Structure 1
Amino acid sequence: MSVLAIALNPTIDVSSEVARVEPTRKMRTYNERRQAGGGGVNVARVIAELGGRPDLLILAGGATGAMLQDALRVLPVELHLVPISGSTRIAFMVHEEQTGLEYRFVPKGPEVSQRDITSALKIVEEFKGDFVVASGSLPKGASEDTYAQMAGAAARNGAKFVLDCPGPILRKVTGHAPIFLVKPSIGELEILVGRRLDEKGLGEAASALVQNADADYVAVTMGREGALLAGRHGTLRVSSKHVVVQSAVGAGDSFVGALTWFLMQGRSVEEAFRFGVAAGAAAAMTPGTELCRRDDVFAIYQDTEAARYVAPGRKA
């Protein structure tokens, strides 16, 4: 099976450490790392780490765009590039040693033209694979229904569309295009439904999206609390294995990439969901902008118990 990952607003992720974050004073950082990043890029990196060879669509430009391409060329990824006039953004993450806190600085990124988006959409229309995964924010200049257009193009080719994007953008896609699986965080789901959600409300809101045919499956990630999957048979809850957390960066992307890769191996959605939860925990074990490692994912997956669906209306 094949997959196309989409990163319309990729980044060069720079992470480092500092003893203490202080205003005004010059702080000397160390252990600097640079990685190709952004939602769809991270999804492709995870699939490659697990043994796949994904296609990857990126919009990139400027000197930083060239750096991004160089970083991706060393990976087993089939790259589809749409050149843009602006420069690819650089995101910064600083880990404060004294407190263990992370500080993340993520620019909005360059503005793109409608011609750039049309070129990207054409690549999606020409992709004849099994899965299309759109992950991350939309760049400035892209219309809010861009992902909806891509979901429609994927569906016309018989590909299953997986979506992971900020809450406000979800509103422009759910209910407007066929989606196989959507992965909001708790906060993104609350933005989508317009209210705060407790444990019961979380399952009800996710199930409502399935019942309304907004998506075949809704996977809600909850950090250390694991994740919840809503499907036509009810809801499924899997707890996350408690690990020593090094960084929260990339846990959601690791979840999506691992879930998709497991589906590509012919596994069920339920097994792939549990595998994704394991990948999210494995990503938390790595420092900076590193993602999950294959051996860690399989070790955690084998150590987690399978869960059963709870029928709609019953307590999980």
Structure 2
Amino acid sequence: MSDIITITLNPALDKSTHVAQVIPEKKLRCDEPTFEPGGGGINVSRALKKLGGSSCAWILVGGPAGEGICNLLEKEGVDFKAIKTRNWTRENLMVMEDNSGNQYRFGMPGPELYEAEWRQCLDDLEKLPEQKIPRYVVASGSLPPGVPDDFYEQLAGVANRKNFKLIVDTSGPALTKAAGKGVYLLKPNLGELAALAGKEKISAMEQEEIARQVLDEGKSQVLVVSLGPRGAMLASKEGISYVVPPTMPQQSAVGAGDSMVAGMVLCLLQGGSLEDMVRFGVAAGTAATMTPGSELCRKEDTDKIYQWLQEQKEKV
């Protein structure tokens, strides 16, 4: 069993293509499409593979798109465990308009899952023998219809009982209900940080105070607040610090968050400090923005940016 398990309840078969111009009421001639396996946890596992790590992606999949995801993961050499669902896995579409450089992303709703299907994920984790318990479980992405908002909260209960560290990257009610005992690390953005504190929005002036409040309330042991192009804020019992990435040529922000999570969990697994974790995570997330379309981070870009961040730390 891998030291890292990622969980994706709402995966997608991502289809991307190019067209000269998006025009209403016209039949548009698109380029040959590219297919990729998608969904939060799946992308974390794929990025881990690119960074030289390994994991086992637990996925709930059904129908032709589900089979396509499994086939693509096999081709990429990503280990996975497929829990079959009766309803078909969704497909998403991304269209790049060549004339303008605009990117159009069409996300489809996930299929409804039956209780026995999503519960199998929890039960299978609960039944793992001691020698196969992972060190980290990354729960990432949205919850499809049929899955209760407290699914990640239930997962945190399993983390307590099985003694693994749970990392949660989600939003909305799934995030606010997950926050609590059993969650090691949360990765909200500023809007999600506000929701964790019961506020509609917060200013940059308040973010440190709110982060301390969330930690004091026991909603997680570590917070990594994503600040977009400005990097990330780390908040833990050791204090608060920031990592600001270098300005790099950007092509697409798709997959940056998942690449960041992959970098962080890999660094933790390798014994890195919390500050090293955030630096490597920001490096991987920034590297992902340098790649076209939905391509994730590249190791060589990630290593170069991480080295730069380390050198900046040493100058301080």
Q: How would you bin the TM-score normalised by the shorter chain?
A: over 0.9
Structure 2 match to 1:290: 295
Which deviates further from its counterpart, 2-11 or 164-173?
Answer: 164-173
Provide the C-alpha distance between the structure 2 equivalents of 1:224 and 1:146, rounded to a whole number of angstroms.
31
Which deviates further from its counterpart, 128-137 or 116-125?
Answer: 116-125
Structure 2 match to 1:179: 183
Structure 2 match to 1:16: 17
Deviation string 1:296-316 (CA, Å, 9 cap, x unpaired) is 1001111124659xxxxxxxx
Which deviates further from its counterpart, 224-233 or 71-80?
Answer: 71-80
Provide the C-alpha distance between the structure 1 equivalents of 2:104 and 2:208, rounded to a whole number of angstroms.
31
Query: What is the 5 A alignment of 1:165-244?
Result: 165-175=170-180, 177-192=181-196, 193-244=198-249
Provide the C-alpha distance between the structure 2 equivalents of 1:146 and 1:29, rounded to a whole number of angstroms.
39
Deviation string 1:12-59 (CA, Å, 9 cap, x unpaired) is 111222333222222223363211110000000011111222011100
Matched-pair contact (CA < 8 Å) for 1:145–1:172: yes
Query: What is the 5 A alignment of 1:140-159?
Result: 140-159=145-164
2:78 is aligned with 1:73: no
Provide structure 2 residue ranges, at least 5 long, that are not aligned to the other structure. none
Shift of 1:262: 1.0
Matched-pair contact (CA < 8 Å) for 1:155–1:161: no
Structure 2 match to 1:268: 273
Shift of 1:157: 1.5
- SS of the residue corresponding to residue 189 of structure 1 reads helix
Which amino acid counterpart does residue 29 of structure 2 have in structure 1? Answer: R
Provide the C-alpha distance between the structure 2 equivalents of 1:165 and 1:189, rounded to a whole number of angstroms.
11
Deviation string 1:155-180 (CA, Å, 9 cap, x unpaired) is 222110000001321111113x3111
Deviation string 1:118-165 (CA, Å, 9 cap, x unpaired) is 111122222501000000001110111111111221222211000000
Structure 2 match to 1:278: 283
- SS of the residue corresponding to residue 95 of structure 1 reads strand
- SS of the residue corresponding to residue 211 of structure 2 reads helix
Pair 88,236 (structure 1): closer, same or farther in 2 beyond 3 Å = same
Shift of 1:208: 1.4
Which deviates further from its counterpart, 93-102 or 226-235?
Answer: 93-102
Provide the C-alpha distance between the structure 2 equivalents of 1:142 and 1:298, rounded to a whole number of angstroms.
38
2:168 is aligned with 1:163: yes
TM-score by length of 1: 0.92
- SS of the residue corresponding to residue 273 of structure 1 reads helix
Matched-pair contact (CA < 8 Å) for 1:14–1:289: no
- SS of the residue corresponding to residue 33 of structure 2 reads strand
Question: Which one of 302, 306, 310 corresponds to residue 301 of structure 1?
Answer: 306
Matched-pair contact (CA < 8 Å) for 2:73–2:79: no
Counting matched residue pairs gives 307
Provide the C-alpha distance between the structure 2 equivalents of 1:57 and 1:47, rounded to a whole number of angstroms.
14
Pair 307,228 (structure 1): closer, same or farther in 2 beyond 3 Å = farther
Which deviates further from its counterpart, 3-12 or 233-242?
Answer: 233-242
Which deviates further from its counterpart, 14-23 or 88-97?
Answer: 14-23
Shift of 1:94: 1.8
Provide structure 1 residue ranges, at least 5 long, that are not aligned to the other structure. 309-316
Matched-pair contact (CA < 8 Å) for 1:61–1:86: yes
Matched-pair contact (CA < 8 Å) for 2:55–2:79: yes
2:110 is aligned with 1:109: yes
Q: CA RMSD in A?
A: 1.7
Query: What is the 5 A alignment of 1:14-93?
Result: 14-30=15-31, 32-93=33-94
- SS of the residue corresponding to residue 171 of structure 1 reads helix
- SS of the residue corresponding to residue 162 of structure 1 reads strand
TM-score by length of 2: 0.92
Structure 2 match to 1:314: none
Identity of matched residues, %: 39
